[in-house]
Amino acid sequence: MKMSRLVAFSSSLLLGTLLALTGAGVAQAKESAAVDYVALGDSYSSGVGAGSYDSASGDCKRSTRAYPALWKAANNPASFAFTACSGAKTGDVTAGQLGPLTSSTDLVSISIGGNDAGFADVMTTCVLQSEATCLSRIATARAYVDSTLPGKLDSVYSAISAKAPSARVVVLGYPRFYQLGGSCIAGLSEKERSAINGAADYLNAATAKRAADHGFTFGDVTSTFTGHEICSGSAWLHSVNWLNIGESYHPTAAGQSGGYLSVLTSKA
């Protein structure tokens, strides 16, 4: 009787040990599995505003401080392709950025849609013209997000899925630009700032919907940028810069690491 109990106990102990080791082995294999990562998108993904641009990227201004490069440095993927480009619209992604995608691609990140909706022109209009003209231009951008942008996003997302059917795709959104009631004493009116923030939310909502319908993951950066908007006193976004207009309203290096990298890391 005692011997049978000892045998049963030993068998149970051995089985438990094997199961524990097997689980640990699976977890370790999963953790160390090679990842093939491709980073697509516009200037928010290429890193405009963060400095330290790769000269080989030319006008695309891909930065070593952009969130894709930071993720690569932290995670050591098996392969990394960085094709995001300043000024890119949805059509530019499908026409010129998808080359590195294959059936082996595991992870894709992308921010896109802001240039299609004309956000650069919105900001230029709001900075240089009247409040009424600013609000009218924002309304035009919102109408575009309703009528045209969803179809353009569908085209990009479908093309990504066709080339990289097994990849986890993380679609990153855009931050709100302004902290309302903040430290800014000049520039745009609070009504204009509020309308610009509302337009960013509107664009994010439309993008999140299209991403979800394609089975992609949406990465909302508004929460990570909260407290770091323009007028916050601790901005992770450049305000208008007349000496380097292209960096205006883009994330700083801190915005890329604290605002974008953290979201990608949590979603990848």
Q: Catalytic site residues?
A: 43, 250
Nearest CA to 268 out of 111, 136, 71, 112 is that of: 71
| Residue whose structure tokens are 């810069």 | 241
Bridge partners, 237 (sequence order): 251
CA dihedral 66, 71, 73, 76 (to 10 degrees): -150
Would you say 60 and 86 are in contact if contact means Cβ atoms under 8 Å apart?
yes
Q: How far is residue 70's CA from residue 159's CA, in Å, rounded to a whole number?
A: 26
Bridge partners, 81 (sequence order): 38
Q: How far is residue 52's CA from residue 144's CA, in Å, rounded to a whole number?
A: 34
For helices 131-147 and 149-163, give the axis angle rounded to 10 degrees: 50
